[in-house]
């Protein structure tokens, strides 16, 4: 088990940094925004919830910024990033946190139109959780390049559902698996472009998002928002972390290094060997160092 400890001294590293957090008017994002502020960062909030977003930004005074944002809209997110850069002069950390739960319109439910034909499923959740997070990541990489200090960090809020299925919320599970792929793919660019990318996989966490499950949860373990917020700050402040999956279930365990180390058990030695050879070759053909990014330190400022 690769346990990751929250070190309050390390968290102080966020002091003076500029962080953009999507979906920070409520829940995990809001608690993370307050923690970043308490540790001395400037905080830009992008959220659909104008009232709560503005109230939170006002709490942060000159170190706060709010822009009404729908992450599924490119122009909307571009404005969030541009206005943050204009106000604070850099973008150091980006927390792609906004997301939709799947509470209705399940993929396995059939709906029919007036002609009796099967209706196209509503994929708004994919637009928000996947397309919206790809937009956030694209803008993050663009603004990290403008950041002369470098050492920037992208943190993508996935879910335990990014590793496990077994529950019939297919659109949500698909979206969070997709975001794990996003982080695994971007982490390799980190060293040459001066940023790190990490995935946070919270287990059930007490927020509005999970309120319906919360009602039937009883006394089973559930994360506090602060436990996830501390993992988010750790992913930013701990410069050794890149390409990791911080699985948060009352404690933090990294899922990515152990999975990588167990590859030959997981796939069998022959298949693992073939895969490893191919991976290194493809990496080289893109002009990248063939060493696996999980075997090398992340970008160090």
Ligand X SMILES: NC(=O)c1ccc[n+]([C@@H]2O[C@H](COP(=O)([O-])OP(=O)(O)OC[C@H]3O[C@@H](n4cnc5c(N)ncnc54)[C@H](O)[C@@H]3O)[C@@H](O)[C@H]2O)c1
Residue ranges that bind ligand X, judged by CB under 6 A: 22-23, 25-29, 47-49, 69-72, 97-100, 128, 132, 157, 159, 202, 204-205, 207-210
Report in angstroms how near the CB of residue 130 gets to ligand X at its nearest: 11
Please tell me which residue in 172, 199, 293, 299 is annotated as part of the active site: 172
CA gap 53, 46 in Å, rounded: 8
What CA–CA distances, in Å, run from 299 to 21, 198, 224, 228, 240? 21, 12, 30, 23, 8
Please tell me which residue in 17, 176, 199, 299 is annotated as part of the active site: 176
Report in angstroms how near the CB of residue 17 gets to ligand X at its nearest: 21
Report in angstroms how near the CB of residue 53 gets to ligand X at its nearest: 8
Q: Do the Cβ atoms of 66 and 45 come closer than 8 Å? A: yes
Which own/partner pairs from 75-79 qualify as long-range (CB within 8 Å, at least 24 positions apart)? Answer: 76/46, 77/22, 77/46, 77/132, 77/135, 77/136, 77/139, 78/139
Residue number, 56 or 188, with CB nearest to ligand X: 56
- The three-state secondary structure class of 55 is helix
Report in angstroms how near the CB of residue 159 gets to ligand X at its nearest: 4
Is 176 in the active site?
A: yes
* Torsion angles phi and psi, residue 44, rounded to 5: -105, 130
Residue number, 76 or 283, with CB nearest to ligand X: 76
Residue number, 126 or 186, with CB nearest to ligand X: 126
DSSP H/E element including 188: none
Residue number, 91 or 128, with CB nearest to ligand X: 128
Per 3-state DSSP, the chain is made up of helix, strand and coil in percentages (nearest 5) of 50, 15, 35
Report in angstroms how near the CB of residue 261 gets to ligand X at its nearest: 25
Q: How many CB atoms lie within 10 A of CB 283?
A: 16
Residue nearest to ligand X (CB): 27
* Torsion angles phi and psi, residue 45, rounded to 5: -110, 130
Residues contacting residue 17 through CB under 8 Å, at least 6 positions apart? 36, 41, 42, 92, 93, 236
Report in angstroms how near the CB of residue 158 gets to ligand X at its nearest: 7
Residue number, 10 or 206, with CB nearest to ligand X: 206
Residue number, 7 or 212, with CB nearest to ligand X: 212
Is 143 in the active site?
A: no
State the pairing for strand pair 152-157/195-202: parallel
Which positions are catalytic? 172, 176
């Amino acid at each position: 088990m690769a346990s990751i400890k929250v070190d309050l001294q390390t968290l102080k590293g966020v002091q003076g940094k500029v962080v953009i957090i999507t979906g920070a008017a409520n829940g995990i994002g809001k608690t993370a925004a307050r923690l970043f502020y308490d540790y001395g960062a400037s905080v830009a909030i992008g959220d659909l919830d104008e009232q709560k977003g503005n109230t939170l930004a006002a709490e942060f005074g000159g170190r706060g910024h709010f822009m009404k944002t729908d992450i599924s809209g490119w122009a909307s997110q571009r404005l969030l990033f541009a206005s943050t850069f204009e106000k604070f002069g850099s973008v150091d950390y980006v927390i792609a946190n906004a997301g939709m739960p799947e509470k209705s319109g399940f993929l396995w439910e059939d709906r029919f139109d007036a002609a009796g034909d099967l209706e196209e499923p509503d994929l708004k959740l994919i637009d928000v959780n996947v397309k919206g997070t790809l937009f956030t990541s694209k803008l993050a990489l663009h603004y990290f390049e403008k950041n002369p200090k470098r050492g920037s960090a992208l943190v993508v809020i996935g879910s335990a559902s990014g590793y496990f299925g077994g529950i019939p919320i297919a659109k949500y599970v698909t979206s969070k698996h997709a975001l794990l792929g996003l982080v695994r793919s971007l982490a390799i660019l980190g060293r040459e472009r001066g940023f790190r990318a990490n995935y946070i996989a919270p287990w059930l966490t007490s927020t509005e998002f999970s309120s319906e499950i919360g009602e039937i949860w009883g006394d089973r373990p559930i994360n506090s928002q602060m436990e996830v917020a501390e993992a988010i700050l750790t992913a930013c402040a701990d410069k050794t972390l890149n390409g990791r999956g911080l699985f948060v279930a009352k404690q933090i365990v990294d899922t990515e290094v152990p999975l990588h180390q167990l590859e030959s058990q997981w796939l069998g030695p022959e298949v693992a060997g073939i895969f490893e050879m191919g991976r290194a070759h493809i990496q080289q053909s893109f002009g990248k160092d063939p060493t696996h990014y999980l075997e090398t330190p992340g970008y160090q400022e």
